[in-house]
Structure formats: C-alpha cells, structure tokens
C-alpha cells in the first residue's frame, strides 16, 4: 500500500482539528512537513532544470536550497513558485525539527494548526 503527499497533509489537517495534547500537536507538525516535503520534491523534480544546492547538506536542506535557488528562467512562472515553495518548506522543517527533536520546547495547538495550513498552501502551489 502507498500514500500521496495530499493524503499525508489531509491526515495532518484532520489530526490538527482533533488534537488535544502536545504529543498529538507534535505528530501534526511531522505529518504536515513530510506531506509538504514530498509535494515540494515532486514539483522540483518536474522542473526543466534542478535548482542550486550550494553548500546545503542533507536531502531536506538540499531540496530547500534547490527550490529557493531555481535555475529556471526568472521569466518562467515556476521560478517564483519554486522560491515561494522553498520558503514555506523552510518554515515547515523548522517547526518539524522543533516538534521531533526539541522535546523540552512547547508545541501548542496554534503551532500544529499553522503547520497543517502551511502544508495545504504548499501543496496547492506545488500542484496547480
């Protein structure tokens, strides 16, 4: 069985609406990010040329760098869309890292709701 980025984002959205504790808020942030990551990767993979990695290390940081530094012409509407997707993915990964690795930090319902909403925005941009 497999899933899609949209299904992961829909799951995060549904979880955010019913979440009542911090463990659930953290799970929302994680699901929202991974759904957005896969949508962003599919968008980037469909570009006529890959963006610039620069000095980014690791798969996630490299994708964010490539999206933020596209090599497609600035006249191509996908150029601006790529930059916007990169910016949103940067915000989502920051929240996901906080939720997954910084156990002493507070993650609240507003943070989870925002992550789910940002993932929906990213998915829409990546697929339209």
CA dihedral 47, 82, 16, 58 (to 10 degrees): 80
Measured distance CA(49)–CA(119) in Å, rounded: 24
Is this model's pTM higher than 0.75 or not?
yes
With a cut of 90, say whether residue 1 has pLDDT above it: no
pLDDT tens-place string over residues 24-75: 999 999 999 999 999 999 999 999 999 999 999 999 999 999 999 999 999 9
Ordered domains of the chain (ranges, CATH): 5-127 (1.20.120)
With a cut of 80, say whether residue 126 has pLDDT above it: yes
Stretch 76-103: mean pLDDT, rounded?
97
pLDDT tens-place string over residues 101-123: 999 999 999 999 999 999 999 99
Residue 37: the pLDDT is 98
């Amino acid at each position: 069985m497999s899933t899609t980025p949209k299904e992961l984002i829909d799951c995060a959205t549904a979880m955010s609406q019913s979440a009542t504790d911090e463990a659930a808020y953290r799970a929302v942030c994680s699901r929202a990010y991974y759904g957005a990551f896969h949508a962003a990767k599919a968008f980037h993979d469909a570009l006529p040329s890959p963006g610039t990695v620069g000095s980014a290390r690791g798969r996630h940081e490299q994708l964010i760098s490539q999206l933020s530094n596209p090599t497609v012409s600035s006249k191509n509407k996908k150029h601006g869309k790529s930059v916007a997707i990169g910016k949103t993915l940067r915000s989502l990964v920051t929240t996901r890292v906080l939720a997954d690795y910084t156990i002493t930090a507070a993650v609240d319902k507003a943070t989870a709701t925002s992550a789910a909403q940002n993932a929906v925005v990213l998915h829409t941009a990546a697929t339209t």
